[in-house]
Amino acid sequence: MNIFRDASILLVDDESYLIDSMYKFLKNKGYQKILTAKNIAEARFKLNNNKVDLMILDIMLTDGSGFDLLKDLRKKSSLPVIILSALSGIDDKKEGFDLEVDDYIVKPFLPEDLLWRIEAVLRRTYQNKNEKIILSGGIIFDRERAMLIKNEEDIQLTAKQFKILDYLATNLNKIVSIDQILEKCWEDSFGYENTLITHIYRLRDKLETDPANPKILITVKGLGYKLLGDNKEC
């Protein structure tokens, strides 16, 4: 049984045939909440007026670039995104992953390949994320909503920040190496060490009272990182 059949998926592509075929295929596989959009304007409307758990986004749309939509989305949401594009160049893929996409599929593709990737992203993002973990300083990591609660204020995490923090929280109070984080949080971990460091800095901005002197997400020199917490859920 597909445990993610209740997930709401937004398909954004300007090719009517492709939209229709993906829609029918996913319906046949048990996904009942499928939304569609043929351009950026429609996608924005659907995102603003519906609960969406995953977006499958084409890059070359009639009213602009899907990357522009993704840039705006990342300012406020950690929504999982799979890029679907005819652009196969390394620079295009890098731009996508720099914007924290969860996967990148090059057209043409097999429907089964799309299905496997959808289920992998949903599994990584949502499965067993229904608990809240108390971090040092009384900060709560709300895995279900992919956010922090600090001084009674909700602080949204990006998709990549969530993945990194979730992996560290799974290993709470333990040292996790850079290689382990890269392998867990990136499909292709090669060359992303500097990007990881940037994400750690940004996480500290959200976690720490004094990010320059971290007390919650600390660096263990020569070994990796450690997330400190109370080893209990709330």
In this prediction, residues 159-176 reach a mean pLDDT of 90
Contact 149, 228 (CB under 8 A): no
Q: What percent of the chain has pLDDT over 70?
A: 87
| The predicted structure's pLDDT at residue 212 | 94
Residue 189 reports pLDDT greater than 60: no
Residue 146 reports pLDDT greater than 90: no
104's CB contacts (< 8 A; 6+ apart) are: 82, 83, 85, 93, 96, 97
Q: What is the dihedral of CA 36, 76, 84, 47, to 10 degrees?
A: 0
Which tens digit of pLDDT belongs to each residue from 99-110?
678 888 888 889
Residue 96 reports pLDDT greater than 70: no
- String of b and e for 29-48 (b: at least 16 CB within 10 Å)? eebebbbbbbbbebbeebbe
In this prediction, residues 18-41 reach a mean pLDDT of 93
In this prediction, residues 65-85 reach a mean pLDDT of 86
Task: Map residue 225 onto helix, strand or coil.
Answer: strand
CA distance 68 to 210: 33
CA distance 10 to 6: 13
| The predicted structure's pLDDT at residue 45 | 94
| The predicted structure's pLDDT at residue 1 | 41
109's CB contacts (< 8 A; 6+ apart) are: 84
| pTM metric for this prediction | 0.57
Residue 170 reports pLDDT greater than 90: no
Grade residue 231 by pLDDT with cuts at 50, 70 and 90: low
Residue 13 reports pLDDT greater than 90: yes
Select the more confidently predicted residue: 145 or 171.
171
Residue 125 reports pLDDT greater than 90: no
Alpha-helical segments (H) within the chain: 16-28, 40-49, 66-74, 90-98, 111-126, 159-170, 178-185, 193-207
In this prediction, residues 58-68 reach a mean pLDDT of 90
Task: Map residue 99 onto helix, strand or coil.
Answer: coil
